[in-house]
Chain A
Amino acid sequence: MDYKAVIIGGSAGSFQVVTKIVSSLPANYPLPVILCLHRLKHVRSGFVEALSIKAQMPIVEPNDKEPIKSGKIYLAPANYHLYVELGNRFSLSTEDAVNHSRPSIDLSFFSASYNYKRKLVGIILSGANKDGALGLKSVKDNGGLTIVQDPNECQVPTMTLASMNATNVDHVFSTNKIINFLLSLA
């Protein structure tokens, strides 16, 4: 398998699922985990702290140009798009919102799939709009592995259903199965 990164997209409604996932990953998890979650653009602080309460891996909002390292969880900061660049660094952008979102899940997934190609795992969780669907398609088109949370389990299934419509996803998993899968990469 030999993956280089995991990228996860969801909206505010996915907070509990994300918390459960990040708290299940061990401190020495061998991949970077990139979280792009819809959030209020004017609330800059509090999100990392809330996610960190039960997490064993360090969670940070990356600076522009910050090198991407294994064993860390990166959360897209408020009011910026988060991109993966060649040279394994992040960049941030203030370009217009996409699907009314900044950060936009599509844009993060596009850049990550463009740079990691088949060495990327893309996961879409519960979410209230279709942002993320084309991003997950891009992961698939670049040879990466695609997973969506089981829509029956989602608080709001719009994002997962849109992703399943956009591409032929590899797995539809419950939260527990997503966690088991991620642990199997360690």
Chain B
Amino acid sequence: MIDSLGIVDTKKMIAAIQESYGLDLSDYNLTTLRHRFLYILSYFNIVLVDEFVNQVKRNNIDYEELLEQLMIENTELFRDPSFWREMKEKYLPELSHSTGAKIWLAGESSGEEIFSLMVVLSELGLSNSIKILVSCPSKNRIAKIKAGGLYDLKKMEIGEANYTRLSGKFEFSSYYKIVDNKAVLDTSLLTGVEFDTLNISQVESNKSYRMIIFRNMMIQYNLPLYEKVTRKLMSNLTVGGHLILGNMESLEYSEVGKKMQLVNQDERIYRKRVD
């Protein structure tokens, strides 16, 4: 049953993963992590937590496969069409005026966020004028994204409905083809997009991004990690640059986040005022 993993078992799994793979999940939101661990157990056909721990210790579970399955869907194609409309009408055209502007999509999971962004940029004719970096810790996920996503067709229905709401230029179906009952998005959209597998907490600060998109990622963190990552994100943003969170996320519970100015309440777009 979905709610049957207790704190003790959850902590056992966290410890085993950290010990064997060096992946630290101890500051992730417990409810979500418990759900995810239950899914992981069923994905690897494991009934007992102790068996999972043993398998991990003996390296019987492929790390990349585990990492891929641990990733939580954080978006859908054009999630929050009103946000993408703001991007299209205001923030992206503004950004294109500053030369060498860079956007960092700091927490990609399924590829839906980067494809949404690239569709909007290409319809504005701006695909080539803004540099994009996408960070996603899972190599498997990145490979899938580069292959066009390979999405369930249900996701295309959601994408199409959202695309219509943001008043896209074309038919949404012109952006993908169906192969073996999976939707393959037009990979030419990703031309020039850079990918890396850095985890946000390993990233150095170099303050060079005009915009960082990090929607619905910090909902997976507890307060200490949220504080730490907020600091990290801010230190990678130029003064005047924008940080974009999910529409029900807020920086008001972060000490350092209070320095940011909320410039769009509905879409939770923050602006960095000072260094």
Contact = CB atoms under 8 A, between A and B. Distances in A.
B74 A94 contact: yes
A64 B31 contact: no
Interface SS majority for chain B? loop
A44 interface: yes
Contact of A44 (B2, B31, B247): B247
Interface string A55-98: 00000011111100000000001011001011101011111101
Given A64-B246, A64-B248, A111-B31, A79 B79 contact: yes
Given A65-B253, A96-B73, A114-B3, A91 B29 contact: yes
B250 A95 contact: no
B249 interface: yes
Interface string B146-171: 00000000000000011001000000
A94 B73 contact: yes
Contacts of B165: 42
A106 interface: yes
A160 interface: no
B35 interface: yes
Contact of A63 (B79, B81, B82, B249): B249
A167 B79 CA distance: 37
B30 interface: yes
A116 interface: no
Interface string A126-139: 00000000100010
Nearest to B223: A65
A91 to B, nearest CB: 5
Contacts of A44: 80, 82, 247, 266
A110 B32 contact: no
B249 A95 contact: no
Contact of B3 (A86, A94, A138): A138
Contact of B248 (A42, A80, A110, A114): A80
B3 A110 contact: yes
Nearest to A61: B248
B75 interface: yes
Nearest to B74: A94
Contacts of B260: none
A77 B250 CA distance: 14
Nearest to B1: A134
B250 A64 contact: yes
A66 to B, nearest CB: 8
Contacts of B2: 98, 106-107, 110, 134
Nearest to A135: B3
Contacts of B31: 83, 85, 91, 93, 111, 114
A91 B219 contact: yes
Contacts of A98: 2
8 A-B pairs closest in CB distance: A110-B3, A63-B250, A64-B219, A83-B31, A65-B253, A94-B216, A92-B219, A77-B248
12 contacts: A44-B82, A44-B266, A45-B266, A80-B219, A83-B29, A85-B31, A93-B72, A93-B220, A94-B74, A94-B246, A107-B2, A134-B2
Interface of A: 42, 44-45, 61-66, 77, 79-80, 83, 85-87, 89, 91-96, 98, 106-107, 110-111, 114, 134, 138
Given A95-B72, A110-B2, 19 more contacts: A44-B82, A45-B266, A61-B248, A63-B252, A63-B253, A64-B250, A65-B250, A65-B253, A66-B250, A83-B31, A85-B31, A91-B32, A93-B35, A95-B32, A98-B2, A107-B2, A110-B3, A134-B1, A134-B2
